[in-house]
Chains A and B, each alone.
Chain A
Amino acid sequence: MKSRIREFDSSTLNESVRNTIMRDLKAVGKKFMHVLYPRKSNTLLRDWDLWGPLILCVTLALMLQRDSVDSEKDGGPQFAEVFVIVWFGAVTITLNSKLLGGNISFFQSLCVLGYCILPLTVAMLICRLVLLADPGPVNFMVRLFVVIVMFAWSIVASTAFLADSQPPNRRALAVYPVFLFYFVISWMILTFTPQ
């Protein structure tokens, strides 16, 4: 451990601020790419960070705002609600996974679950654009299709990373809460109406 510290001593303790920023930005960007094209790799798990999940959570919460008439309830509770659902849900899934004996660390699991919200955030964006058109059954079918596709994408991306950390006979037990989590988010996206 001490020799590793000495290795890092010169590389990260004395690097310039710009290097630090670029290094972190590149790490976040690489993880977004990994979610869009899920492959079996350990990058998402190895260098975890929670910036991506924070950005996605804030974006999703902002897009799920209703334009309300009175400024008294200006969407405050809904904003906090999305935050609480995402983070509390992710923590619960992580605890469940650890209790089942998975060998993934707490923050790694939060990182994967948070980054895999990206497809659903894209779905929310598309839904908001579609809702600018006339409401009707076609509108709803388009949104339903988009949400279902993105929901499947999120599930595939997250299980590609999380399933390996569980013993084979427990995989279904560890994966179904992930299913529930993304289902709740997809439901919030699908039932969203601007007024």
Chain B
Amino acid sequence: VLQHNDDTEDVSLFDAEEETTNRPRKSKIRHPVASFFHLFFRVSAIVVYLLCELLSSSFITCMVTIILLLSCDFWAVKNVTGRLMVGLRWWNHIDEDGKSHWVFESRKESSQENKTVSEAESRIFWLGLIACPVLWVIFAFSALFSFRVKWLAVVIMGVVLQGANLYGYIRCKVGSRKNLTSMATSYFGKQFLRQNTGDDQTS
């Protein structure tokens, strides 16, 4: 009984510490619709590809369906589910000189209740993001080596689109973690400068 009390005391101390230093990680899903669609388009594209012979006798229908699903998935993951589920975003920006910049953005860690990242959503997001391109690469090799060349166009499109999202979000994630250590010092430095000079920073 004494040990049990000690344990509970230890646990409560640990919780109090966590609340003040780390942000609280919830395990409930805050955006069920976004989570559903994140997985729906990817998984149905794979399912249609695997079951095309059974679903419809027309190759064209299957191919167009897969292309549409892959495009919807690309747009949804890039513009909506990444933002809502893990607070990351990446895009391309062309400035006045015509030079292209790839911007990888991650939401600042805020203490607001509804802006923190929930663990369940994060797990769903990364699972869907990583598993599907791997499957498409496997399909690419299988189409190549079994000489079903007419499917190669679709499979390559799948690899490219889903691989692009995977690469973009990994860069967002890696970029944000690198900035984390230097963020505090640079943030306070910039605040100080901004208050004193009062004009735009260029970095």
Contact = CB atoms under 8 A, between A and B. Distances in A.
Contacts, number: 81
A76 B63 contact: yes
Interface in B65-82: 67, 71, 75, 79-80
Given A9-B108, A13-B105, A24 B153 contact: no
B105 A75 contact: no
Taking chain A's interface residues, is the majority helix, strand, or loop, or is none over half, making it mixed? Answer: helix
Interface stretch (B19-27, B42-50, B95-103, B122-130): B95-103
A13 B87 contact: yes
A3 B153 CA distance: 41
B58 interface: yes
A84 B98 CA distance: 29
Interface in A1-48: 1-5, 8-9, 12-14, 17, 20, 24, 45-48
Given A13-B105, A20-B79, A45 B98 contact: yes
Taking chain B's interface residues, is the majority helix, strand, or loop, or is none over half, making it mixed? Answer: mixed
B153 A2 contact: no
Nearest to B202: A3
Interface string B98-121: 101101010110000000000000
B105 A71 contact: no
B58 A62 contact: no
Contacts of B186: 2
Nearest to B186: A2
